[in-house]
Structure 1
Amino acid sequence: MALFTDIDARISALRDLFGDDVEIDDLSSRMMAFSGDKLVEAVTAVSALVRCVERVGIVGAGITAARSTRQAGRDGLAAGRGHRTPAALVQDITGLTHADAQRQVRIGLSILDSEAAEDAGGHDGASSPSVGTPSAGTSRARVPWHTPLATAMLSGQISVSQQDAIQGGLGHPIDDTDHTHDVWSAAAEQLAAEARERTVEELRIQARAIRDQLDPEGAERRFTERYNRRSFRTWVDADGRECGRIEFEDDGAAWMRAIRDAALRPRRGGPRFVDSAEAKRAEDLTADQRTNDQLSYDLLIDLLRAGALADAKDVFGGRQPGVRVVKVHDGSGVPVSARTEDYGFSVPLASADQRICESGTVNVTVDVRGNPLDVGRESRLFTTAQRVALAIRDGGCRWRGCDRPASYCEAHHIDEWAADDGRTDIERGILLCRHHHMQLHHGGWRITRHGSDDFHLHPPGGKHPVTLRPRVALTAAWAGIDPPPKRFREDAA
C-alpha cells in the first residue's frame, strides 16, 4: 500500500470510531465512553498512524543529515539554520530529546545508505546463510547488512525503536567479507521477523547475545572492557546529600540482579509460593509501603551491614539468590559458548569455568532445537534440574510479548495431570510468568504441542492459535538460523 493511501486508511478508521470529528476538549470523555474492544481498536489505529507518519520524519532526518555534512560547511542545512549538528536541527523542529533526534538521524542515514546501494545495482549476497555457518566469500558490491531492517521499518513491520534496538544490538560486522555480511543480514532478518513477539528491551538483549555468538573474540574483549570500567564512587551534592554511582562489570551486575530479584520477586510478579511461611512473607512484601527503589536500597544496606556473616534466610527467605551459568557444548563435548540462565547474557568461557569452580555444574543434554531430553512422569511437580532445563530451552516466559526472565516463571504442564495423564517431563512443560500462568488457567486459554514442535497458544472463543516461537538468540545458540528466513525482497539485479 502506498504511504499516503495507508495514512488515509488509518485516519478513516479513526473517523469511523470517533465520528466525523471531535473537539480536543471532548477527546477524553469520548474515549472514556468506548468499550474495551473499541478503546483497544482506537489505540491500535493511532499507533499504526504514528508509524506511518514517523517514516516520513525518519527519512527527512536522514536527508537533513546528508545535506549537513562537514564538507558543506556553513552552506549545510543545519549550519545554515544556526545548528551545530543535524540532530540539533531535528530536535529543534520536533521537540524530541537529543537522544531521540540522534536516533532519527542514525536510522535515516542507514535507510539512505541501503537505497543508494540498491540504486547502484548492489547485491545483498548470493544466499542468506545460517548464523554461525561458515562459507567462503570475497568482497563485492552489495547493499548494507542492515537493509532488511530498513525494509521492515519502511513497510511497517517493525517500529523505529525496534530497528534501533536490533541494529544497535548487532553492532558492526567484524570484517568486510561476504560471509560475515550475509550472516549479520540473516540475523537482522530473523530478529525483525520476531519483533512482534518481543519487547524492545528484549530485542536489544537478543541482538547482543547473537552478536556475541557471531563474534566470540569481540565478546571477550567487550567483557574485559566492561570489567576494566567497573567503578563505585560517592560524592556530596550541593544540598549535602550523599550520592553514589556504580558501573558494574558483567559478573557483578548478574549478582546484583539476582539479589534484587530474589528479594523483590514476589512483589514484581514472580512465582507463587507453596510453603505457607514463604507465602506470608510474599504477602507482607506486597503490602509494604516502600517503593521498589527504597526496598532495593534498604536491601543493599542490610547486605553491607551483615556482610559475610549474613543469614541468607533472614534476608531472602527461602530463595537464596545465585547466578547460574549455562555452557553449550558441540557434539564432541567441546564447550563453544556460555550464558547466564536469566536474561541470556553471554559469558566468556573462562569466566564460566571460574563459576564452575565455585558452584559446580548441572548437566543438561539438548537436541539441535534446544529441547532437553524427556525425563518422564516422575512426580507431580517439576524438579530443580527440570526447571533448569526449561530455563535453558525457553529463556523465560514463552507468552508472546513477555520478557520476564526464567527466575520469575512457573513451570506449566500443558497436559492436565489427572485428567490427561499429564507427564512431568520437559517436552510437555513450558515456562510462564505468574501473571500469564494465572491468565491461562482462569481465562480460558490453553497451550498445545505436537511432539517437539513449537508450542501453540489457543485464545478463548476458538480464535486462531498463536505460535510461541523460541527466542531467536537461543535458536542461534543451539543450531544457528537454519534454514534462513524468507527474504523481505529479492536480490537486486
Structure 2
Amino acid sequence: MSFFEEIHRHLGVLRDVVGEVDAGALPTTVAEARDADVMRVIRESTRVIEALASLRIAASGVLAARSRREQGHDGAAAGEGHRSAVSLVQEIAGTTRTEAAKQVRLGESLLDGANLLGGARAPSADDEADAADAVDAGDDAGTGTASRVREPWHASLGRAQLAGTLSAAQHHAILHGLGDPPAPGDDAVDAEFAEAWSLAASQLTEEAAHRTVEELAAAARTIRDRLDPVGAEQRFAARFDGRSFRMWKDTRGVSHGHLIFDDESAAFLRSVFDSALRPRRGGPRFVADDEKAAAAELRDDPRTNTQLEFDLLLDILRAGVLADAKAVHGTRQAGVRIVVTDHAWQTSHDGTPAVAHLEDGLAALPAWVAAQRACDGGTRTVWVDGAGEPLRLGREQRLFSAGQRLTLALRDGGCRWRGCDRPASMCEAHHIDPYSEGGRTDTDRGILLCRFHHMHLHHHRWRITREGHGDFVLHPPPGKGAPIVLTPRLALTYAWADIPPPLPRFRTSPGAAARRTRPAGRAAIPRREPLHRESARDRRAHDRS
C-alpha cells in the first residue's frame, strides 16, 4: 500500500466514526461518541499525524541540506531571508524553535540514514546549537578505489519511523538519548562503537511498541553511559561545573532566584520535597495514627505545593537541618540512595571509569561518587542476580520491612504498572498473594505499585501473578482484555548487565582493553532475551547502595 493510500485508509475510518461535519462541530460530535469510538478517533488520528509528520520531517531535512553554511546566500533558507533552516521551518510550521530544530535534526538523520547527504556532513548552524546531535557518516577507507559510504548507526531508526514502527517523538528520544558514539580516532575502535550504537538503536526500536517515550529516553541514556563510562564522567563533570545560583530584582522590586543543579544536588533536593509532600502527591499511605494525623494536616494546609516547597527550603536554610525530620518526612527521611554493582565498585577503585545510578530516576553517576558518599552515608549490601532479582528473601511479616522495600526498589525501579513513571520512593509494596489468604511477605512475592495503581488494582479487581521467578503478569477484570506482562524498567535491564556470570557479549573485547581506551561498545549491550538462569551461588553478586 502506498504512502497516501495508507493515509486515506485511516481517514476513511475517521470519516466512518465522525461523519461529514464542519470543523466547528467536531467537539460536539466526538462528545456524543462511545468511549471505544473516542479512543478509535485518537488512534487513527495519530496514524495520520505521524505519517504526515514523517513527510514534513523529511522535507525539513532536505531544506537543511540545501541551506548549509558553505552555500552562503544561495542556500534555500538564506534565499527566504533566514539565517538557518531551523528559522525557516519555524516560520512555515508556526511552531517553537525547539520543535523546529528537532524536526530538522530528525530530517537530517533520515537523509543520512538513506545515504543522501553525500558522505561526511559539514557542520551547520543547527549543529552548533546542538552539537550532540551532529552525525558523521564518513566513508570506508583503504580500498584504493571509490569507497562506499558506511551506513550510519542510526539508519534503522529512520527506517522504523518511515515504516510507522516509531513515532517522531520515539525516534528523537532514542537518537538524542544515545547521542553520537565516541570516536577515539582508531578506525577499528570507531567501528566497534558505531556497531554498538547501531545495535542499541535496533533493540530500543523493538521495545518502542510497549514503552513510553520517557522510558525509551532514559534507557538510551543508560546504555550510552554504560558503553561510554569515560563520557559519562565527562558529562557528570560538565553538569557539576555548570551549577549556579543567582538572585535579582525586577522592575517591581520583586526578588527572583535561578538555580542550575548538578546531578546529585538535584536528586537530594527532589528527595526532600518528595518526602515532605508525599501525602499530597499520591505517595505511600501512612499507617500509624500519628502519621495519619500529620498527613491529614498537610493535605488540609491551604498553601500550594510550590509555597510549601519554598517554605521548607527556607526552613532548611535557616536551621541547617530540620529539628523534627519525622514530623515532616514520616517514615522515610529525605536522602539520596546511589546503587552500584560490586563489579563497578571494584573497577572504580582500580581507577577505571565505571557507572552507578540513582535509586530514584535511575540517572547515571560515576561510581566514585558512590564511594565518596559511602564515607559519611555508609553502605548496605543487597544480593541480587543479573536481572536484579533478590536472592536473599525477608522473613514473613505483615508489612514489608525497610530492607525489603530497598530490595524491591533495586529490582523494580518504581511502579511496575505498564507506562507508570512513579519512582520507588513514591510506591507501596503490594502482596501478589493476599496476606489474608496465607500469602508470604517475601520480596519474590511483592511488587512496587504507586498509590493510584495499588488502589486501582484492589478496587477494580485486577490481580498480579507470578510463576516462580518468572515475569509478573497483570490480569485485568473479566472481559477487560488479555493479561499483560509487567516488564521491568528498561534502564534497569542494562543497569544490571555486569552482574556475573556475564554473557559473552557483555565482555569488553581484548583489543579494546589492550589499547586502554573506552570499552568497545558491542561487548556491553545486553539483548532482550531472558538471562540464563544459573544456581544462586553462581549468579549472585554484591550490590552496594
TM-score by length of 2: 0.81
User: 1:365 maps to which residue?
Assistant: 383
Same amino acid, percent of matched pairs: 49
1:427 pairs with 2:435: no
Whole-angstrom CA distance in 1 between matches of 2:117 and 2:447: 44
Whole-angstrom CA distance in 1 between matches of 2:301 and 2:166: 40
Whether the 8 Å contact between 1:374 and 1:427 is mirrored in structure 2 is no
CA gap 1:466/1:95 in 2 versus in 1, 3 angstroms: same
What's the Cα RMSD here? Answer: 2.3
Whole-angstrom CA distance in 2 between matches of 1:119 and 1:427: 54
1:161 pairs with 2:169: yes
Q: Which amino acid aligns with 1:456?
A: V
Matches within 5 A, 1:284-323: 284-308=297-321, 310-323=323-336
Matches within 5 A, 1:440-455: 440-455=457-472
* Structure 1 residue corresponding to 2:151, chosen from 143, 150, 156: 143
Whether the 8 Å contact between 1:117 and 1:142 is mirrored in structure 2 is no
User: 2:366 maps to which residue?
Assistant: 348
Partner of 2:387: helix, strand, or coil?
coil
After superposition, give the CA deviation of every residue in 1:362-387 in whole Å (9 maximum; x if it has no partner). 11111112211141552122111111
Whether the 8 Å contact between 2:326 and 2:333 is mirrored in structure 1 is yes
CA gap 1:332/1:325 in 2 versus in 1, 3 angstroms: closer
After superposition, give the CA deviation of every residue in 1:260-314 in whole Å (9 maximum; x if it has no partner). 1111222122111112222233233334343322222222122222223633134
CA gap 1:2/1:272 in 2 versus in 1, 3 angstroms: farther
Query: Structure 1 residue 204: deviation in Å?
Result: 2.3
After superposition, give the CA deviation of every residue in 1:88-134 in whole Å (9 maximum; x if it has no partner). 111111101000000000000001100117999xxxxxxxxxxxxxx
Query: Structure 1 residue 320: deviation in Å?
Result: 1.4
Partner of 2:474: helix, strand, or coil?
strand
Whether the 8 Å contact between 1:190 and 1:472 is mirrored in structure 2 is no
Query: Structure 1 residue 332: deviation in Å?
Result: 11
Stretch of structure 1 that moved more, 215-224 or 91-100: 215-224
Query: Structure 1 residue 243: deviation in Å?
Result: 0.6
User: 1:111 maps to which residue?
Assistant: 110
Whole-angstrom CA distance in 1 between matches of 2:277 and 2:429: 20
Whole-angstrom CA distance in 2 between matches of 1:202 and 1:85: 32
Partner of 2:383: helix, strand, or coil?
coil
The runs of at least 4 aligned residues of structure 1 exceeding 6 Å deviation read 117-120
CA gap 1:440/1:119 in 2 versus in 1, 3 angstroms: farther
Partner of 1:172: helix, strand, or coil?
coil
Whole-angstrom CA distance in 2 between matches of 1:484 and 1:145: 19
Matches within 5 A, 1:467-482: 467-479=485-497, 481-482=525-526
CA gap 1:403/1:393 in 2 versus in 1, 3 angstroms: same
Query: Structure 1 residue 250: deviation in Å?
Result: 1.5
User: 2:288 maps to which residue?
Assistant: 275
Whole-angstrom CA distance in 1 between matches of 2:346 and 2:240: 29
Whole-angstrom CA distance in 2 between matches of 1:118 and 1:42: 38
Whether the 8 Å contact between 2:216 and 2:490 is mirrored in structure 1 is no
User: 1:16 maps to which residue?
Assistant: 16
Query: Structure 1 residue 11: deviation in Å?
Result: 0.8
Whole-angstrom CA distance in 2 between matches of 1:284 and 1:239: 35
Whole-angstrom CA distance in 2 between matches of 1:284 and 1:443: 29
Whole-angstrom CA distance in 2 between matches of 1:446 and 1:466: 11
Matches within 5 A, 1:218-229: 218-229=231-242
Q: Which amino acid aligns with 1:230?
A: R
Stretch of structure 1 that moved more, 373-382 or 395-404: 373-382
Partner of 2:33: helix, strand, or coil?
coil
User: 1:123 maps to which residue?
Assistant: none
1:48 pairs with 2:68: no
CA gap 1:328/1:230 in 2 versus in 1, 3 angstroms: same
User: 1:6 maps to which residue?
Assistant: 6
Whole-angstrom CA distance in 1 between matches of 2:253 and 2:274: 31
Whole-angstrom CA distance in 2 between matches of 1:412 and 1:300: 33
Query: Structure 1 residue 334: deviation in Å?
Result: 5.6
User: 1:410 maps to which residue?
Assistant: 428
Whole-angstrom CA distance in 2 between matches of 1:159 and 1:114: 16
Q: Which amino acid aligns with 1:472?
A: L
Whole-angstrom CA distance in 2 between matches of 1:272 and 1:47: 37
Stretch of structure 1 that moved more, 365-374 or 199-208: 199-208
Stretch of structure 1 that moved more, 172-181 or 251-260: 172-181
Stretch of structure 1 that moved more, 48-57 or 155-164: 155-164
